[in-house]
């Protein structure tokens, strides 16, 4: 188990952020980490809505978020704590994360309106 790689904020690329968040599961994980007072373990996040995500897939999702520069992961005892790198990313690409998060959030409302009838 080699130590995690966290890119310096200057090396963070917009395409990596868009790619990471273009998967709705990963976007949901990221939003979850943002909401959870800024910290979340991997397993706490593993049941997203109805669907259970296998832990190997989860591990990979966290890796993609980490390498895109969106989160920082550190081991605390047996568990992993994940922090959003919101301020960093916001300073480098102002407005990007809020716009993406808002877009997903507004979309959920309309999804449920659609499926409600």
- Among 59, 102, 106, 107, the residue binding DNA under the rule CB under 7 A is 59
Positive or negative CA dihedral for 109, 26, 42, 10?
negative
- Contact at 8 Å (CB) between 32 and 45? yes
Q: Binding to DNA by residue 109, rule CB under 7 A? A: no
Closer to a second copy at the Cβ: 43 or 57? 57
Q: How many residues belong to the site for a second copy (CB under 8 A)?
A: 26
Q: For residue 43, give every residue at least 6 positions away whose Cβ sits within 8 Å of its Cβ, in sequence order, or none.
A: 55, 79
Q: For residue 86, give every residue at least 6 positions away whose Cβ sits within 8 Å of its Cβ, in sequence order, or none.
A: 34, 97
- Among 57, 59, 60, 107, the residue binding a second copy under the rule CB under 8 A is 107
Q: Could you give the CA distance from residue 8 to residue 47 in angstroms, rounded to a whole number? A: 30
Q: Give me the helix-helix angle, 24-35 and 96-116, nearest 10°.
A: 110
Site for a second copy in 41-100 (CB under 8 A): 92-96, 98-100
Residue 53 contact, options a second copy, DNA, none, Cβ 5-8 Å cut-off depending on partner type? DNA
Site for DNA in 23-52 (CB under 7 A): 23, 25, 41-44
Q: Which residues of this protein are in contact with a second copy, per CB under 8 A?
A: 10, 13-15, 17-19, 21-24, 27, 92-96, 98-100, 102-104, 106-107, 110
């Amino acid at each position: 188990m080699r130590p995690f790689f966290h890119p310096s904020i200057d090396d963070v690329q917009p395409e990596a952020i868009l790619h990471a968040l273009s998967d709705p599961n990963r976007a949901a994980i990221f939003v979850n980490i943002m909401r959870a007072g800024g910290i979340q373990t991997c397993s706490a996040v593993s049941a997203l809505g109805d669907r259970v995500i296998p832990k190997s897939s989860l591990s990979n999702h966290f890796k993609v978020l980490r390498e895109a520069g969106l989160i920082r992961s550190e081991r605390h005892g047996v568990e992993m704590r994940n922090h959003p790198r919101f301020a960093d990313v916001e300073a480098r690409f102002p407005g990007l994360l809020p716009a993406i998060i808002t877009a997903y959030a507004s979309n959920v409302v309309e999804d449920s309106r659609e499926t409600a009838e």
